[in-house]
Structure formats: C-alpha cells, structure tokens
Structure 1
Amino acid sequence: MKKDGHIHTPYCPHGTEDSLHLYIEKAIQNSFEAITFTEHAPLPIGFIDPTPDMDSGMSMNQLESYISELQKLKNEYNKDIVISTGLEIDFISGFEQNTTTFLNTYGKYLDDSILSVHFLKHENDYTCIDFSKSTFLAFIERLGDPMSVYKLYYKTLLDSIMSNLGDFKPKRIGHITLVHKFQHTFAEVVQDHKEIIVILNEIKHQQLELDVNSAGLAKPYCLEIYPPPAYIKLAKDLGIPLVFGSDAHQAKDLHQFYYEISNLL
C-alpha cells in the first residue's frame, strides 16, 4: 500500500497553517492510498518545554478538536483515501507514567501512532536535540564530545522501545537516527553502527514498526534518510515492517523524496 505515515498539521504550533484538506487533496493527487496524521502530542503534565517558544507539542485544549476534525475528514474522504488519526508521542525520561496515563485516556481514539525521542535529559534538565544547530553544538560542549550525545540519544531511544507505556503504546518508532540531523557540522563521522544495530534488533524483538523518514534529506547538515539506506535494508532483512513517513510540517513537503527512496521500501 502506498502510504505516508508521518504527517503534521495546522495543529502543530511550530508548523504551518496549511489546511488538512490541502494535505489530503495532495495525497490523493499523488495516488497515495493511505495517510496518517501524526501531530505532536501535548507534552506531559509537569514537563517544561526547553525550546524558546515552548511550542514542541500541540496544546492540550486542541486535542479533542484535532481528533474530531479528523473523524469528519475520514467520513468525507472515505471513498478516496484511508485517513488514520495518530499522534507523535514524545518519550521523555522521567515522564513515563504521565505518558502512559495520557495514552490510557486518548489511545482509544487513535488508529496509528509514532513514538519518538526529541528531548534528552542530562543532569536535571532537558535539551531538544533537533531544535537548532547551535542548541545541538552547545549540548555537545556540555557532554564533552559528539559520541557522548549520540550514546545518550541511543540509550534514551532504547529505553523508549523497551518501555511499558500500556496497551496504547505506539507501534512505530520514529526517525531512529535523528541525532544525525547536524552530522555534517563535524569534521569526522561519528561511528554509531553498533548502537543502531542494537536499536533495530530491539525493535524486532518488541515487534514494532520502523518509521522510514525522508525529512533528513531536506536538512542541510544531515542529507540522509532516517535511518540511512543500509539500515533500512537490514530492517527489511530482520522482518521489521517499514512505513514511509515524510514528516511534513507543511503541505509542500508532503511525500518529500518518496519516489527517490520508494525502492528501499
């Protein structure tokens, strides 16, 4: 099935005001059979968003409207395309119980969701590692070197995969090499092959899906898929279900690079 399983919406506070209709019509025009809207879920109660505008997740008071609007669109387009209601859930160390409570409340309204790591905990605070190059480089300076950041990222990612977030835990793990987003700011390549292998094997063990995320190709300091092609092939060899995701935050980025990487799927 031709599917884009990672799409953001006008409910994203750091995204676009492009309408949901605009996304859906573009998907139909491009002959996609299914799409999943995966807006950034409201961040856990008690978690302080470290980004300057505190706009990493949807407002809680918009969540019911988001779910309701998607239900109407499912009915409107039911003969044209399969639309799934989803969320991109942040795994944040120390907030597992809050996340489980949220999923126990709202998970029954979701068809298909993603579990991702954007925030890393060091000492007593959190950093959004994909927010900006300067934020990422400052975090490296705090931890001492790039490999220390990479190892913390993969440890947190592994914790997310192994976590017990209840019956509504997302079945797909998002952009597992997001830590590569600013890789071309370094003089040398960070050797994280072993860490990625561990991640893929645990995804297989937990019987989860892999987000094959094309957004990294559009990032000037990344220029590769999350994860790179060799690991997509390995995931296929392991029998891990692959789901393409454009991670579009505006309609013009919907399905970005799909035709360039569709052979990998």
Structure 2
Amino acid sequence: MIQHDGHVHSAYCPHGTSDSFEDYVQRAIKLGYKGMTFTEHAPLPPSFQDPVPNQDSAMHPDHLRSYLEELQVVKTKYKNEIDIRIGLEVDYIDGLERETRSFLNDVGPFLDDAILSVHFLKINDHYTCLDYSPDMFLQAVHDCGSLEALYNLYFKTVLQSSKADLGPFKPKRIGHITLVRKFQKRYPVSFPYVPKVLPILKEIKKQNQSLDINGAGFIKPLCDESYPSFDVLKEVEELNIPCVYGSDAHATKQLGTGIIAIRDRVTLTSPKALS
C-alpha cells in the first residue's frame, strides 16, 4: 500500500491534463494512499524567459492564489479520508536565487511542503530546459561540448541547489536528482556517472534535506528508470538519506508510477514525518 505520494501535479500545470483535484484525490483513495502532496510547478521568476517553445513549463503567476485556495478547500473536504498537503515544485535557476528567495518568502507561509528541482541549465549566456525534448537535450550537449560536460553541469547545478541560501522557506526536499538521464537510451553515457552524484548526496545529508524518489522515468520511453536510478539508490540507502516517493503524476492514471520497484530498493517515508 502507498503511504504517501509527495510529488503530484494538477490541472494548473499548462503542460499537464485537465484532471481535477477531486479526480486525483478520489483515485489516490482507491489506490490506498494515506497522503499526497500536490506540487505544481511554481511560477517562474519574473525576469526569466521560459526557453521551451510554448513557454508552458510552469503555472502562470495569476493562477497561484486560486491554486492555493482551491487546494485548501479540497484538503478540508477530505481531511478524514486522506492527508492532503499543499505544496509547490520550485525551480532552482542558477543566477536567480534572489528572486526565488523573494517568492518563497511570500508563498512559504501558505505551504505544507515543497520540492526544489533543476529543470533549467545556464549554458554560456543562455538557459535551456534539460528535459523538454531529445532535440533540445542534444543541442545542450553541443553547447556544453560533450555529453559528459552536460552531466557535469547538471550535477553541479543540483549541488548548488542543495547549498543555496533561499531563505527560511527553502524546500527541504531535492527533486529528481538524475533527471539528466531522461533520454539516456538515446544518449547513453560512456563514463561512470554515479561518482558525480555522490557530492550531491553528501550535501543533502549534511543539510538534513530529503530526496524525491521519483517514478516518472519508468514511463518515459527513453529513460525506463527511476530518478535517482537504482545505482544511485544504493548510495542513498548507505547514507541513510530520508526518501519520499513521488509519482510526478501529470494525470490521475500516472499516480503510483514505479512504486513497487522503488519500494523494494529504498526505505520510504512521508514528508509529514520529516516536518
């Protein structure tokens, strides 16, 4: 039985589906969930230009208030059936820490939970979205000079996210730390990547943070593994880092993705237990 899904999106995601909060909650109850955290993509910093073609990576700023208010209603309605937590998935963007800190100071008091993730990388003088498409990923490889250089930049940025001073409301959970492997079947590595992740894990441990153990990669045809991958999960268990399962669902049918495989390899807890 799934105790808690700590990474769930909603109809407020512009690249998601129209499935309502009620749809998600009722599906979660059928699956036996004890709790779930809605972590919609937080609005991007005002000075940041979304690099994907439709500029649909995150919630529109004008929708944030209604997202929080609607979730509060659903949380109250189902309080005797399931523990619903109000959260956001916040982007760490290199160079925009001040804007991110300001945003978190404003919204943090209204959140029960949050995830800090890296989707965007600063390469030379521009930003790219790491996980948008295989073609955009390949362009990033070319811009970095090699696949290994892109991996290095991604892991460096995730490490920065763990260390960054984002104020008292900084998310305590670091999201999908091997997202760089989303297209690994098309662009396989010829170098060991697990050692590159170890400094991140050690920093997460040092900072008393937790990890998003994310099942979404299992339904990505060019990935077919969790984030982090099972090789990395061995190191996570060795360091005894708190782990929270996340389906990263963008549709109700994706709830529970990868949970059985993940549950067999790592000890999971709920974000509420870590509060």
TM-score range, shorter-chain basis?
Answer: over 0.9
Query: In structure 2, what is the Cα distance between the partners aligned to 1:114 and 1:261?
Result: 19
- Asked whether the 8 Å contact 1:146–1:190 carries over to 2, the reply is no
Counterpart contact for 1:8–1:250, Cα < 8 Å: yes
Give CA-to-partner distance per residue, 1:231-265, whole Å, 9 cap, x none.
Answer: 22321221211000000011110111212322223
Question: Separation in 2 of the partners of 1:202 and 1:90?
Answer: 18
Structure 1 unaligned regions, length at least 5: none
CA distance in 2, matches of 1:232, 1:43: 30
1: CA distance, partners of 2:178 / 2:104: 25
User: What is the aligned residue count?
Assistant: 265
Q: Tell me the equivalent position of 2:272.
A: none
Matches within 5 A, 1:117-132: 117-132=118-133
Q: Which residue matches 1:85? A: 86
Q: Which amino acid aligns with 2:140?
A: F
Contact 2:41/2:90, CA 8 A, preserved across alignment: yes
**Cα distance in structure 1, aligned partners of 2:180 and 2:247:** 17
Q: Which residue of 2 aligns with 1:43?
A: 44
Q: Which amino acid aligns with 2:41?
A: H
C-alpha separation between the residues in 1 aligned to 2:112 and 2:256?
20
Mapped to 1, the partners of 2:149 and 2:230 lie a distance apart of 24
The CA RMSD measured in Å over matched residues stands at: 1.1
Q: Secondary structure at the match of 1:27?
A: helix
Counterpart code for 1:199:
I
The one-character-per-residue Cα deviations of 1:160-180 (angstroms, maximum 9, x if unpaired) are 000000000001000000000
Could you tell which deviates more after superposition, 67-76 or 137-146? Answer: 137-146
TM-score, normalization: structure 2? 0.94
Give CA-to-partner distance per residue, 1:169-208, whole Å, 9 cap, x none. Answer: 0010000000001111135444212111111111000100
Structure 1 residue 151 corresponds to structure 2 residue 138: no
1:171-250 pair list within 5 angstroms: 171-186=172-187, 188-250=189-251
Equivalent positions of 1:23-38 (< 5 A) are 23-38=24-39
Q: Any unmatched runs of 5+ in structure 2? A: 268-275
Match of 1:55 in 2: 56
Q: Deviations over 1:18-57 (max 9, x none)?
A: 0110110111111110100000000001100000001111
Distance in 1 between the 2:124 and 2:201 partners?
Answer: 27
Structure 1 segment 246-257 matched on structure 2, within 5 A: 246-257=247-258
Q: 1:187 to 1:193 in 2, by over 3 A?
A: closer
Amino acid paired to 1:120: L
- After superposition, the C-alpha distances for 1:69-98 in whole angstroms (9 at most, x for unaligned) are 110011100000000000000000111000
1:236–1:242 contact (8 Å) kept in structure 2: no
- Give me the TM-score of the superposition, normalised by structure 1: 0.97
Distance 2:4 2:186 in 1: 33
Describe the shift of the 1:40–1:187 C-alpha distance in structure 2 as closer, same or farther (beyond 3 A).
Answer: closer
**Does residue 1:12 correspond to 2:13, yes or no?**
yes
Q: Alignment partner of 1:202: what SS?
A: helix
- 2:89/2:116 contact within 8 Å kept: yes
Q: Decide whether the 8 Å contact of 2:226 with 2:258 is kept in 1.
A: no
Whether the aligned pair in 2 keeps the contact of 1:15 and 1:249 (CA below 8 Å) is: yes
Letter in 1 for 2:250: H
Q: One-letter code of the match for 2:40?
A: E
